[in-house]
Amino acid sequence: MIKVGEKAPNFTTKAFHEGDFKDISLSDYDDQWKIVLFYPGDFTFV
């Protein structure tokens, strides 16, 4: 479990960017500020 103040573990996921899906990793953005948002209900019929 991640606790406040700890670094997030590296992960790879798909992202939609400029009209196409591509694989990105958290480590692609080292030395930059990051905000990570999750939308578990996107693209579903819930």
Is residue 42 over pLDDT 80? no
Euclidean distance between CA atoms 36 and 19, whole angstroms: 20
pLDDT of residue 34: 87
At 1-37, the pLDDT tens digits run 888 888 889 999 998 889 999 999 999 999 999 887 7
CA 38 to chain centre: 7
Rounded to two decimals, the pTM is 0.57
